[in-house]
Amino acid sequence: MKTINDFNFSGKKALVRVDFNVPQNEQLEVTDNTRIVAAKPTIDKIINDGGSVVLLTHLGRPKGQAVDKFSLKHILAEVAKVLGREVKFCPVTIGDEAQKMASELQPGEILLLENLRFNVGEEKGDKEFAESIAKLGDVYVNDAFGTAHRAHACTSTIAEFFPETKFFGLLMEKELKAIDKVLNSGERPVTAILGGSKVSTKITIIENILPVVDNLIIGGGMAFTFIKAQGGHIGNSLVEEDKMDLATEILAKAKAQNVKIYLPVDVIAADNFSNDANIKEVKSDEIPEGWMGLDVGEKTRKINNDVIMNSKTILWNGPLGVFEMSKFAEGTKALGDSIDEATKLGAFSLVGGGDSVAFVKQFGYADKVSYVSTGGGAMLESLEGKELPGVAAINK
């Protein structure tokens, strides 16, 4: 893996693709700077070597239009604050002004170019657009794991113009190593926890990880498709009727590969999809009509805990219940506690995927696991066994 640690940036201008697609409030102030903080070690290394940095990122989905609310000028102050350095801003991505500002950049200086997606060529992976950006620097660094699954101009095409001087940033290295640890080099037993609402969005992940895991805990709404496929009564719980045969196949494949699958044995059922609903704990395959399972029950939490405490490598993708409602967050919190405990005892734990990341941040588990992935879609595609365009471009 070619990383920036293999290169001295002294006197070099590095084009660094970062993922500063950060959430903002109505005043366009940054509300979560995690992604900016995550890129800091890479930028620091280049500057400390005596290089300069041209930052490339997108923000939102402006679809090739220069939309003010998606301008990077709104996040400039936060970027400078996190990096602890002055950051110059170029109001365009290509053209004379960008060329001039980049050429005048001195060692130790940082320039942030305007939103890449203000240009239609970015999302199209356009070669001309990539080449015009490539001319602004001597070295290309991809540190944007969150966009590595996109074949965009500044994620993959641009690497062609740097055959010898293209590298992974330190964040990309951490992300790829964390995924490799789960899929290839992790200490056994390996346990994967997959939650969320639909089996259909997790099929390829399940099929790809079955050969490398020892245990698979299935929770969230997707569990009910498996339970119903085995003849269980699930009341009004979420189900994908057209995926029941597939669920049966997955259970058979897991058995053939000696993977233990753990489905909820009991659930917190509600008579309404609401925090004000009446609730009761029932067996997961005996949910009364008119009721729906919205969280895992006590017995399931204990079983999950026993499995996790006996694991050395843990992958967590997706909540076990509707944690956005306090009445149905306890099962996922119990899971978080178990993973926290196992991690303290030396297990490696990786959390990824939008809802799980939102959960660990909201409930304070982010510092209690080994690694929280910054890329939702990119992590899922990696777990599906796909080579990401942004990774392939550096490895070529």
Cβ-based neighbours of 250, under 8 Å, separated by 6 or more: 203, 206, 207, 210, 226, 261
Beta bridge partners of 348: 313
Closest CA to 158 of 141, 180, 183, 182: 141
Is 17 considered catalytic here? no
Burial tier of 373 (Cβ tally within 10 Å: 0-12, 13-18, 19+): buried
| 355 marked as binding residue | yes
| Fold agreement between 4-170 and 178-383 | yes
Is 198 considered catalytic here? yes
| CA–CA distance, 371 with 329 (Å, rounded to integer) | 22
CB atoms near residue 168 (< 10 Å): 26
Cβ contact 316:193 at 8 Å? yes
| 275 marked as binding residue | no
Class of domain 4-170: alpha beta
| pLDDT tens digit sequence for 286-311 | 999 999 999 999 999 999 999 999 99
Q: pLDDT digit of tens for each residue in the chain (396 aa)? A: 999 999 999 999 999 999 999 999 999 999 999 999 999 999 999 999 999 999 999 999 999 999 999 999 999 999 999 999 999 999 999 999 999 999 999 999 999 999 999 999 999 999 999 999 999 999 999 999 999 999 999 999 999 999 999 999 999 999 999 999 988 888 999 999 999 888 888 888 898 899 999 999 999 999 999 999 999 999 999 999 999 999 999 999 999 999 999 999 999 999 999 999 999 999 999 999 999 999 999 999 999 999 999 999 999 999 999 999 999 999 999 999 999 999 999 999 999 876 888 899 999 999 999 999 988 788 888 888 888 999 999 999
What pLDDT is attached to residue 354?
63
Cβ contact 238:221 at 8 Å? yes
Catalytic residue selected from 198, 253, 260, 299? 198
Cβ contact 357:316 at 8 Å? no
Q: Can you give the residue ranges of every domain in the chain?
A: 4-170, 178-383
The structure tokens 């259970």 sit at 251
| 50 marked as binding residue | no
Catalytic residue selected from 232, 354, 361, 386? 354
Catalytic residue selected from 35, 166, 174, 228? 35
Write down the CATH number for the domain with range 178-383.
3.40.50.1260
| 280 marked as binding residue | no
Is 390 considered catalytic here? no
| pLDDT tens digit sequence for 154-170 | 999 999 999 999 999 99
| 356 marked as binding residue | yes
Task: Provide φ and ψ at 15, rounded to 5°.
Answer: -85, 115
Q: Is 160 left (phi over 0), alpha (psi -120 to 50) or beta?
A: alpha
Cβ contact 297:268 at 8 Å? yes
| 346 marked as binding residue | no
Cβ contact 374:35 at 8 Å? yes
Is 297 considered catalytic here? no
Beta bridge partners of 194: 218, 317
Closest CA to 142 of 395, 396, 394: 394
Catalytic residue selected from 64, 108, 232, 377? 377
| 396 marked as binding residue | no
